[in-house]
Amino acid sequence: MIMDRIALTLAIIGGLNWGSIGLFRFDLVAYLFGGQTSAVSRAVYTLVGLAAVWCVSLLFRERDDVDERA
Protein backbone atom coordinates (compact mmCIF):
# COMPACT_ATOMS: atom_id res chain seq x y z
CA MET A 1 0.00 0.00 0.00
CA ILE A 2 1.36 3.41 -0.93
CA MET A 3 0.37 4.93 2.41
CA ASP A 4 2.55 2.37 4.20
CA ARG A 5 5.57 3.32 2.13
CA ILE A 6 5.01 7.04 2.67
CA ALA A 7 4.62 6.52 6.42
CA LEU A 8 7.75 4.35 6.60
CA THR A 9 9.73 6.91 4.62
CA LEU A 10 8.64 9.74 6.91
CA ALA A 11 9.35 7.66 10.01
CA ILE A 12 12.85 6.88 8.71
CA ILE A 13 13.46 10.57 8.01
CA GLY A 14 12.31 11.37 11.53
CA GLY A 15 14.56 8.71 12.99
CA LEU A 16 17.56 9.99 11.08
CA ASN A 17 16.80 13.52 12.23
CA TRP A 18 16.60 12.38 15.86
CA GLY A 19 19.87 10.51 15.39
CA SER A 20 21.56 13.66 14.13
CA ILE A 21 20.17 15.59 17.10
CA GLY A 22 21.43 12.98 19.54
CA LEU A 23 24.86 12.53 18.01
CA PHE A 24 25.67 15.98 16.66
CA ARG A 25 23.13 18.36 18.27
CA PHE A 26 22.06 19.25 14.74
CA ASP A 27 18.36 19.41 13.82
CA LEU A 28 18.27 19.09 10.03
CA VAL A 29 14.55 19.91 9.79
CA ALA A 30 14.97 23.12 11.80
CA TYR A 31 18.05 24.04 9.76
CA LEU A 32 16.28 23.53 6.43
CA PHE A 33 13.00 25.21 7.33
CA GLY A 34 13.93 28.17 9.53
CA GLY A 35 14.02 26.92 13.10
CA GLN A 36 11.98 24.60 15.28
CA THR A 37 9.14 27.05 15.71
CA SER A 38 8.57 27.90 12.04
CA ALA A 39 5.28 26.76 10.57
CA VAL A 40 6.95 24.54 7.98
CA SER A 41 9.15 22.80 10.56
CA ARG A 42 6.16 22.19 12.80
CA ALA A 43 4.25 20.76 9.83
CA VAL A 44 7.14 18.40 9.06
CA TYR A 45 7.37 17.32 12.72
CA THR A 46 3.60 16.72 12.75
CA LEU A 47 3.70 14.64 9.55
CA VAL A 48 6.56 12.54 10.93
CA GLY A 49 4.62 11.98 14.15
CA LEU A 50 1.48 10.96 12.26
CA ALA A 51 3.57 8.63 10.10
CA ALA A 52 4.94 6.98 13.24
CA VAL A 53 1.40 6.44 14.53
CA TRP A 54 0.46 4.89 11.18
CA CYS A 55 3.50 2.60 11.38
CA VAL A 56 2.22 1.24 14.69
CA SER A 57 -0.64 -0.28 12.70
CA LEU A 58 1.92 -2.24 10.67
CA LEU A 59 2.83 -4.17 13.81
CA PHE A 60 -0.70 -5.51 14.21
CA ARG A 61 -1.57 -6.42 10.63
CA GLU A 62 -1.89 -9.94 9.40
CA ARG A 63 1.36 -11.24 7.96
CA ASP A 64 -0.45 -12.68 4.89
CA ASP A 65 -1.12 -9.16 3.57
CA VAL A 66 2.61 -8.48 3.33
CA ASP A 67 3.57 -11.89 1.97
CA GLU A 68 1.10 -11.72 -0.94
CA ARG A 69 2.76 -8.61 -2.39
CA ALA A 70 6.32 -9.92 -2.12
Given a cut of 90, whether residue 64 has pLDDT beyond it is no
Which contiguous run of DSSP H or E holds residue 1?
none
Cα separation, 65 vs 24, whole angstroms: 39
Residue 11 belongs to domain spanning: 2-69
Tens digit of pLDDT for each residue in 36-52? 999 999 999 999 999 99
Rounded to an integer, the average pLDDT of 22-28 is 97
User: Looking at the 3D structure of the chain, how many domains does it have?
Assistant: 1
pTM, two decimals, is: 0.80
> Residue 55: which pLDDT band, with cuts at 50, 70 and 90?
very high
